[in-house]
């Protein structure tokens, strides 16, 4: 059973990524670097020291990574303070209220500097919901390594297998899965073209997340489980599957199917929305027909 929900901040709680893109362009322009949008998007969710290490190597920058990170942080904190209030992403406030009412713990795990996390949470009016927040600056290795999520679970007094992470970036999803946590990929168009395919499920709106599904997560399931099945919803114990509890329903016959990503994501969505065993049976029949004729 899930005990805690860990949120990324930028692009999940607030649509701050466009502001970060603008800040990065201004910071880099000061040192004579014109960067492409694609390169900026590749930095989403990445620890700041990793970002500056890449830039230092690519553009032969003279300053040390530590100096560049310090200047970057100071610039961003002042930049966001100048913006003032920021509206949370649609549905976030309602989701957090539901999570709190259900007795689940919450935390923020962000690659941003602690001062920046504090500024943004206050600007969005969300600080009271997150007494626990952790920065990539406070762990040895930032995203896409799992350190930040492992440490956050420890501060919440829970284990990794009981945590659900909500992420909008490829780097964040990788970090969550390496930590052994369930991960919901939030497809945010403002975060650029992010590959969220490693997430257990992908959503485009927070209204798609049901509190009952969060609380019903099965700890034993892992994204790297030994089954030959590559799709989470094949497992009847998968937290989002409405098949949970229907032990007589056998899905082993389709474990070896090799479905492509677009079909996988569509079926994830259909199973997520299904509400009855009968509906799931029809979906399974359709899957088998499609697979036998297409794959």
Please indicate whether residue 8 is annotated as part of the active site: yes
Q: How far apart are the C-alpha atoms of 184 and 103, rounded to whole Å?
A: 19
Q: What is the 3-state secondary structure (H, E, C) of the chain?
A: CCCEEEECCECCCECCHHHHHHHHHHHHHHCCCCCCHHHHHCCCCCCHHHHHHHHHHHHCCCCCHHHHHHHHHHHHHHHHHHHCCCCECCCHHHHHHHHHHCCCEEEEEECCCHHHHHHHHHHCCCHHHCCCEEEHHHCCCCCCCCHHHHHHHHHHCCCHHHEEEEECCHHHHHHHHHCCCEEEEECCHHHCCCCCCCCCEEECCHHHCCHHHHHCCCCCCCCCCCCCCCCHHHCCCCCCCCCCCCCCCCCHHHCCCCCCHHHHHHHHHHHHHCCCHHHHHHHHHHHHHHHHHHC
CA triplet 79, 31, 170: central angle to 5 degrees? 65
Q: Which of 8, 49, 168, 200 is catalytic?
A: 8
Report the catalytic residues. 8
């Amino acid at each position: 059973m899930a005990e805690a929900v860990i949120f990324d901040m930028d692009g999940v709680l607030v649509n701050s990524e466009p502001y970060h893109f603008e800040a990065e362009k201004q910071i880099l322009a000061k040192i004579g670097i014109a960067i492409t949008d694609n390169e900026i998007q590749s930095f989403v969710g990445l620890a700041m020291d990793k970002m500056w290490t890449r830039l230092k190597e690519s553009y032969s920058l003279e300053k040390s990574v530590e100096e560049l990170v310090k200047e970057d942080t100071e610039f961003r904190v002042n930049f966001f303070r100048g913006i003032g209030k920021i509206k949370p992403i649609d549905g976030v406030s309602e989701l957090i209220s539901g999570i709190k009412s259900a007795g689940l713990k919450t935390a923020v795990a962000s690659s941003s500097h602690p001062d920046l996390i504090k500024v943004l949470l206050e600007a969005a009016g969300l600080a009271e919901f997150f007494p626990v927040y952790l920065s990539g600056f406070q762990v040895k290795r930032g995203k896409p390594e799992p350190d930040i999520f492992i440490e956050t679970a420890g501060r919440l007094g829970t284990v990794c297998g009981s945590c659900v992470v909500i992420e909008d970036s490829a780097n964040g999803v990788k970090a969550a899965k390496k930590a052994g946590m369930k991960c919901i990929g939030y497809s945010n168009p403002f975060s650029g073209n992010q590959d969220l395919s490693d997430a257990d499920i992908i959503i485009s709106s927070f209204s798609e997340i049901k509190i009952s599904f969060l609380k019903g997560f099965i700890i034993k399931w892992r994204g790297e489980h030994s089954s030959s099945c590559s799709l989470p919803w094949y497992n009847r114990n998968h937290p989002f599957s409405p098949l949970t509890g229907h032990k007589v329903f056998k899905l082993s016959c389709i474990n070896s199917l090799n479905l492509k990503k677009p079909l996988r994501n569509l079926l994830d969505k259909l199973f997520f929305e299904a509400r009855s065993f009968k509906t799931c049976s029809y979906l399974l029949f359709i899957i088998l027909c499609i697979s036998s004729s297409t794959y």
